[in-house]
Amino acid sequence: MIGSDPDLLRVGNCSGFYGDRFSAMREMLTGGELDVLTGDYLAELTMLILGRDRLKDPDLGYAKTFLRQLEDCLGLAAERGVRIVANAGGANPAGLADRIRELTARLGLDVSVAHVEGDDLTARAAELDLGSPLVANAYLGCWGIVECLNSGADVVVTGRVTDASVIVGPAAAHFGWQRTDFDALAGAVAAGHVIECGTQATGGNYSFFTEIADLTRPGFPIAELRRDGSSAITKHPGTGGAVTVDTVTAQLMYEIQDERYAGPDVTTRLDTIEVVQDGEDRVLLRGTRGEAPPPQLKVSLNTLGGFRNEMDFVLTGLDIEAKAELARRQLEAGLPRRPAELTWTLSRLDRPDADTEETASAILRCVVRDSDQDVVGRAFSNVAVEMALASYPGFSLTGVPGKASPYGVFTAGHVDPAEVPHVAVLPDGRRVDVPPASGVGEVLMKTSPTPPREPEPLPGPTRRVPLGTFVAARSGDKGGNANIGVWVRTEQQWRWLAHALTVEKLRELLPEAAELPITRTTLPNLRALNFVVEGILGDGAASQARFDPQAKGLGEWLRSRHIDIPEALL
């Protein structure tokens, strides 16, 4: 058992990404009662960054800010009996564990440290038919964390586990869950999915943010987990932000595929979760059902795609289109060698008769990519600078020309779990092999066996207004794909949304997605729809192929589009 209450475990989160609020660890430890403090430091792009760090120095490859946070807070956590579980090990969990042990010795603390490893498949990528990536990491589950905690570890660090695993592991250890307790595990995954992105569960990136009284510095979330897998999502008293059905639903809809949220330990049925307000800043998650995990583990594959550079030209006043055409023609004619990819984008931010120079200006962006660094380095930026006195009137650039920078390409692979050496390295140095999941099932299907029943359409006269008048949205990236989750608050609104926002209507509202494959999933219990738009992000966030490379604003763009809505709802 981890906490003092055998039927309750209070798990707080202090990080949603590598670079999140540094002071959050101390804030969570001093703000109220906790049994476990977790942190999620990894993303698809982060694994590329940490992998490159380790190539430069084999002692690196972990989230360095986490170590600095521990230097400030490890004594406080030990004093309060709070265990810490984080995936900050990144590409080098063993190295991070060693640095933490050195830290505890220097601080004179009696703190035991364990780590989980085995996710790094880089050296075996070709053998496993995964190509030749810079880094290859399997998504491990919670059971290595369970072994570490059951051994008495006070701090557990991992490499690439699923984001929710740092929450599921402590719950499974505390309640003694077995591998086939799928409903309980799925409930913990739901809670973990809500809190792993930090303040996105307490009002951050929330469509109706103007309804929240104080969003200056939102508090980080807490999941109060119960033995049956149900939970209450809350935050420390007196902290900013809010915990409501909508802020929690927003995070449930983040970066999902369909109604089955598949992980290495359990497949969580998102279409079974009941979300209920239970007082101020307290939301219950209950009724979550789980199924067997899929037969293969997902693998994050990051490869260096080449080099990129970009230049932003400022176009002011009249004849914007003609100025843009002249800049394009001059730059392309001056390049000694044309890059493999050369993309122009004109953003018409200007308006007629503007009363400031900035609002009279548009931005012309040129992005270039090539496998040869020299082609998109000075050979590109020098040409743009040479145009300064020979181009359109009012010529200027937004910044100093830069050097070419490497970019990554993300793809997802899959391997047999038996091929992945999931290992818990305990505080005394013992290595415990963690067996792969048993009773796996073929669950990665696109639709439910029984499609959900949609409500009756809502008739009546309509008015053309923005979709976001009462529809909320949350969007995000998964490799080259993006998801857009949308939901409403009332049954009447749901009667309209379920029929109005079809795949065809989405293509109409988002022309950039018009020619791409789109899958729609209906989640009636959340009054929500989820859309997966395939290929809109090119080769993934690391490739920076799009204006919004992680699709964070895609849902808000959708909300801003006008659509015919029944007057009865307005």
* C-alpha count within 13 angstroms, C-beta hemisphere, residue 338: 9
Mean pLDDT of all residues belonging to the chain: 94
Domain residue spans of the chain: 8-296+416-433, 301-409, 462-569
The whole-angstrom separation of Cα 42 and Cα 90 is 7
Residue 442 clears pLDDT 80, i.e. is over it = no
pTM: 0.93
Smallest CA-to-CA distance from 83 within 1, 172, 155 is with: 155
237-to-27, 220, 276 alpha-carbon distances in Å: 11, 11, 20
* Percent of the residues in the chain that have a pLDDT greater than 90, as a whole number: 88
409-to-132, 524, 548 alpha-carbon distances in Å: 12, 35, 16
Domain 301-409 sits in CATH at: 3.30.70.380
| Secondary structure (3-state) at 48 | helix
Residue 311 clears pLDDT 90, i.e. is over it = yes
Structure confidence by residue, pLDDT tens digits, 458-475: 888 999 999 999 999 999
What single DSSP character describes residue 475? E
Structure confidence by residue, pLDDT tens digits, 217-270: 999 999 999 999 999 999 999 999 999 999 999 999 999 999 999 999 999 999
